[in-house]
Structure 1
């Protein structure tokens, strides 16, 4: 039986739900076209909104060099790339790799969250 193709909107919803499960995580909408994930008002994932082209940006202190080898990834603009932020974009019809982006969100949350909250994840 063929696998059902996931829409980018479904991937965004799944990633947002995944990210909001972290301690202290909340959404933040600093400008139109984004509904980001933050902890203590510090963004750990910039996410596009449903109905827009898929985009995610995360801070990847450990894996940013590896991530930049991916054909859909580039350093995040506005100088964030210099701090290890990586952006992935996909055209309509392309299927973003959900599990990879969950790993990105995990790494980014751990980089941005207060140490106390990160420690609670590991206990």
Structure 2
């Protein structure tokens, strides 16, 4: 059951990320990442690459520049600063499907913050314009 829930949350986060202006999917290391302007803004690992954790759950990794969001993400069950030195730059890895894990809505908020941190200003402006446009405009 937890595995199905984790897979559903991961898919919702993936779909949301791909809806952002200029976003596209790539598969370095045979794992899913979402990029904008050739820069990764979300890692969607299936879990087996998390060092030292064996059969670990799927994870979402995002870059959170705002201290409050960063602290909130790190308070999630099992969340850790991302390895390979990325944690020092604000990247956080959050396991999915565990009791108390963030829901898809919160993860999508974090994905958007990560996107805004990495994306070119013109694409962030396009996202803002899309968000404020009246329906049907």
Q: TM-score, normalised by structure 2?
A: 0.76
Q: Deviations over 1:25-59 (max 9, x none)?
A: 00011102x21111011000000249x83101000
Bigger Rg, which one: 2
Measure how far apart 1:67 and its partner are: 1.9
2:65 is aligned, of 57, 61, 66, to: 61
| Equivalent-residue separation in structure 1 for 2:84 and 2:27 (angstroms) | 17
Where does the alignment leave 5 or more consecutive residues of structure 1 unmatched? Answer: none
Q: TM-score, normalised by structure 1?
A: 0.84
User: 2:18 matched to which residue of 1?
Assistant: 20
More helix by share: 2
Q: Deviations over 1:68-113 (max 9, x none)?
A: 1222311000000000000011467886511110011000000000
Number of residue pairs aligned between Structure 1 and Structure 2: 119
